[in-house]
Structure 1
Amino acid sequence: MKKYLPIFIIIAGLVFIGYGVWEVVDISHKTEQTLDEAKLALKSPSGKNKGSDKEEFKPKFGEAVGILEIPKINAELPIVEGTDADDLEKGVGHYKGSYYPDENGQIVLSGHRDTVFRRTGELKKGDQLKVKLPYGSFSYEIDKTKIVDQADTSIITLQHNKEELILTTCYPFSYIGNAPKRYIIYGKRI
């Protein structure tokens, strides 16, 4: 039995690695598919996100609603309504109850650190972020970043006093397993 133990460990390791690779490929495929849906929604105002009029913009959960562009890292990411696990597998999730551009409130977008927000640690104060929706394109400039404990919910205030874009992801970026902290990026409208 002892002579088969190393073979069993190697096989178990290969299965574990294979599963991890399959997950990354699957999520990447879902994100690309959702990006295509988001581009279609932007081109076709009469499509599933209804009109190009802001008042008609009422996305459903799980629906591709727009695109988040991050020029510094050459990223074009689909924005999905909702932040459930299924939604975040498709792209950047728009937090339920938060606002959209031109609604004078807190816009909260979340994503996984090992998929869509893999390179957000490279972003610095002054870098640009762009949100494209069926009713317009909106530019933001990063004005600060912050690292908080994973249980800290004070970031999401859902304030309705001024427009601000907030990106959230887990931290540290290279952590294996459930990360103990959150990386927050604040953007102001320009």
Structure 2
Amino acid sequence: MSTTFRNLITNTVRLAAELALTAGFVLLLFAFYLLVWTGHRNAAVQADLLAEIRTTDSNGKIQLPAKPSNGDGVAIMHIPRFGDDWEQVIVEGTENEDLMKGPGHFKGTAMPGKKGNFAIAGHRATHGEPFAKVEEIEVGDEILVETNDEWLVYTVAWTQIVPPTAMSLLEPVPGYPGKKAKQRQMTIITCHPRWGSTERYVVGTQLTKRVAAEAGRPELKQPA
């Protein structure tokens, strides 16, 4: 084997090794961004939103905008199944920049406590992964939604895994296009499986109790 040929092989192997190391480093940085940095950034944004919203007035009511723009808070959600201290500000809009802040309200669907379908989307992985443990939610669980004037208790009625094309779940009566709403519902939609997006995991709830803000946070049934 000639010296020139050996040098060519050596240089080729060295270049391949350097490219592999570079690619590995880039992948490591990307994994850090997804798994750590997006969560850190989301926690900071949520803390700022909560601090702003919890600037209560003389009646002890929280402060949410009457006509929220994209990214503004529309309510505060509490899910006891995820822990006693779990809370997330639901923001207006479901564009990527909205969901980076927290769970997002589908524009055009009902607002919290109103007749129809209050539909929400949220990340299950990265960006704070608010719905990471969505599969732990059970029928009968209670979910609390805090607004300016009321505490709203929604009870889980069903869970379902559907294709991404199942847009009828955003209808006033989820799954029934054209049907007029008579009840007040909340639908939570997130990706399934957790680290994929081939399907959607959906939690359907019914409003079962409402308490005036001045009365204080109502006690919820503890998950079994």
TM over 0.5: yes
Q: Which moved more, 1:140-149 or 1:32-41?
A: 32-41
Structure 2 counterparts to residues 95-174 of structure 1, below 5 A: 95-114=106-125, 115-159=129-173, 160-174=181-195
**Structure 1 residue 86, shift from structure 2 partner:** 0.2
* Range that drifts further, 11-20 or 67-76: 11-20
Alignment length (residue pairs): 181
Q: State the identity as a percent.
A: 25
Contact 1:64 1:78 in 2 (8 A): yes
Q: 1:33 Cα deviation (Å)?
A: 3.0
Equivalences for 1:2-21 in 2 at 5 Å? 2-21=13-32
**Distance in 2, Cα, partners of 1:70 & 1:188:** 14
Contact preservation (8 Å) 1:67, 1:131? yes
Give me the TM-score of the superposition, normalised by structure 2.
0.73
- Corresponding position of 2:8: none
Larger radius of gyration: 2
What TM-score, normalized to structure 1? Answer: 0.85
**What's the CA shift for 1:35?**
2.5
Partner Cα separation in structure 1 for residue 130 and residue 92 of structure 2: 15
1:39 is displaced (CA, Å) by 4.5
Q: Which amino acid aligns with 2:28?
A: I
Residue number among 71, 87, 103 corresponding to 2:98 in the alignment: 87
Q: Name structure 1 gaps, 5 residues minimum.
A: 51-56
Instruction: State the distance in 2 between where 1:44 and 1:27 align.
Output: 29
For the aligned residue pairs, the C-alpha RMSD in angstroms reads 2.1
Once the two structures are superposed, residues 97-141 of structure 1 have per-residue CA deviations (whole angstroms, 9 ceiling, x without a partner) of 111233111000100110111111111111121111222211111
Q: Which residue of 1 aligns with 2:73?
A: 64
Structure 2, gaps ≥5 residues long: 1-11, 174-180, 209-224
Residues in 1 aligned to 2:188 and 2:160: alpha-carbon distance in whole angstroms: 11
Offset from partner CA, 1:32-91 (integer Å, 9 cap, x none) = 2332313531433598734xxxxxx22111112321111111221121111000000000
